[in-house]
Amino acid sequence: MQVGIPRALSYYDFFPFWFGFFSDLGIEIVLSDKTTKQTMTRGSALVVPETCLPVKVYVGHILNLLDKGIDKILVPSIQSIAPKIYNCSKIRGLPDLVRNVVKKPFTMIEATLDKSEKNQGLYEFLKEIAAYWNITDFERIRKASKNAWKVYNNFYIMRRSGVSYKAALSAAMENKVIINSDSKSYPINIAVIAHGYNLYDERTSMKIFEKLEKLDVKTYTAQNLTQEQMAEGLNAINSRLYWANEYEITGAAAHYIQDRKIDGIVTINAFGCGPDSLMLERISRYAKKLNKPILHLSIDEQTGEAGFVTRLEAFVDMLYRKKRSKIINKIKIKDNTERFSDINCRDLI
């Protein structure tokens, strides 16, 4: 028994759950390959140009799984993750979108999760998925679901403690929990705010974490926060919860905007994303109010790495200058006889 899972969209948030669930049921998971230029090109060729990049990438991953000969692919329709909190229309209608553009024969596992409706909760969702392999035994599905939550919770415990995405994922899949041993201190701290698929897909995010690490920057994301911290962020910004991703975008950004150790915020959003354009507007206003530097990076399949890097470097340089002038001002107050003009910013911090 095999299931194909596209390495795109909700994969970056929920794969640990699916790993725990399917392995407990004895179903082998086949993942699509990592995103490449070809994945983007093939996906983009099938959908209308206005579609956001993550969905184009998702379609490219479906094609990759079909190339591997996988005939059952998980394409869930996740409508609502809590009462009256909805996903964007593209994620809600994902099975219909895929059916209309991928004209190849395969079985699409298109179960629906809709917590705003009766009888479409998580158990019904999992039951619907298991039925594709004629698994209907309640106890078996319940046990698989328990294992799924265990792997998922272990993954998030590690992420919150600062373990990197890759290390946390591989430890969770081996049923282990590791602790963060990185005690290195960094002169600049930046919170990177985006959907999981815009952050952890190395092709889409152009390896932003590696680039910032090279610039001696420590990065933080929504996955390093608890639900309570993101909820406090939402309260602070006075935002009503509507979109399924409000916690990881608006809530996390507002939390980090208030956090004094964070020097700046970088957001990454897909060109043409409706929910993000609304959320980012609120975040920008709040950052301005609290005088926190913010950089918005918009991506599509044409985005060039050179421009991306230049903007990132300029932003980090500005943060160094800002921090340096703060430190210099503090020293000047203590001893105004010292000369500062030739002090290197990085040495100072």
Establish if 275 lies at the interface with ligand SF4 (CB under 6 A): yes
Residue closer to ligand SF4, measured from CB, 51 or 120: 51
Choosing from 3, 5, 52, 62, the residue that interacts with ligand SF4 (CB under 6 A) is 52
* Local structure of 57: helix, strand or coil: helix
**Gap between the Cα atoms of 87 and 92, Å rounded:** 6
Binding of ligand SF4 by 199 (CB under 6 A): no
Judged by beta carbon, residue 110 or residue 276, the one nearer ligand SF4 is: 276
**Is the CB of residue 251 less than 8 Å from the CB of residue 281?**
no
Q: Contact between 76 and ligand SF4 (CB under 6 A)?
A: no
Q: Does 91 bind ligand SF4 (CB under 6 A)?
A: yes
CA-based Rg of the chain, rounded to a whole angstrom?
Answer: 22
Residue list 136-195, contact with ligand SF4 (CB under 6 A): 195
Is residue 340 within 8 A of residue 331, CB to CB? The reply is yes
Long-range contact pairs involving 124-128 (C-beta distance under 8 Å, separation at least 24): 125/76, 126/21
Neighbours of 119 (CB within 10 A): 7
Cβ closest to ligand SF4, residue 52 vs residue 148: 52
Q: What is the DSSP letter of 51?
A: S
Q: With contacts defined by CB under 6 A, name the span among 201-209, 274-282, 318-326, 330-338 that binds ligand SF4.
A: 274-282
270 counts as binding ligand SF4 under rule CB under 6 A: yes
Contact 12, 34 (CB under 8 A): no
Lookup: tokens for 225: 């926060």
Indicate left, alpha or beta for 175 from its phi (over 0: left) and psi (-120 to 50: alpha): left
| Near ligand SF4 by CB under 6 A: residue from 5, 46, 55, 111 | 55
| Structure tokens given for 171 | 């430890």
Closest CA to 247 of 60, 81, 52: 81
Concatenated DSSP letters for 269-316? EETT-HHHHHHHHHHHHHHHHTT--EEEEEE-TT--HHHHHHHHHHHH
Closest to ligand SF4 by CB, 59 or 294: 59
Six-digit token pair at 342? 């030739």
CB of 27 to ligand SF4, least distance (A): 26
CB of 53 to ligand SF4, least distance (A): 7
Q: Which of 265, 271, 275, 267 is nearest to 303 (CA)?
A: 271
Q: Which stretch binds ligand SF4 (CB under 6 A): 25-33, 171-179, 269-277, 286-294?
A: 269-277
Q: How many residues bind ligand SF4 (CB under 6 A)?
A: 12
276 lies in the binding site for ligand SF4 (CB under 6 A): yes
Out of 6, 16, 20, 54, name the contact with ligand SF4 by CB under 6 A.
Answer: 54
> Minimum distance from CB of 262 to ligand SF4 (Å)?
24
Q: At what angle do helices 37-46 and 53-67 cross, to 10 degrees?
A: 100
Which residue, 47 or 111, is less far from ligand SF4 as judged by CB?
47
The stretch near ligand SF4 (CB under 6 A) out of 255-263, 268-276, 316-324, 338-346 is: 268-276
In the complex, what is the shortest distance from the CB of residue 237 to ligand SF4, in angstroms, rounded to a whole number? 19
Query: Where do contacts with ligand SF4 occur on this chain (CB under 6 A)?
Result: 52, 54-55, 88, 90-91, 195, 270, 273-276
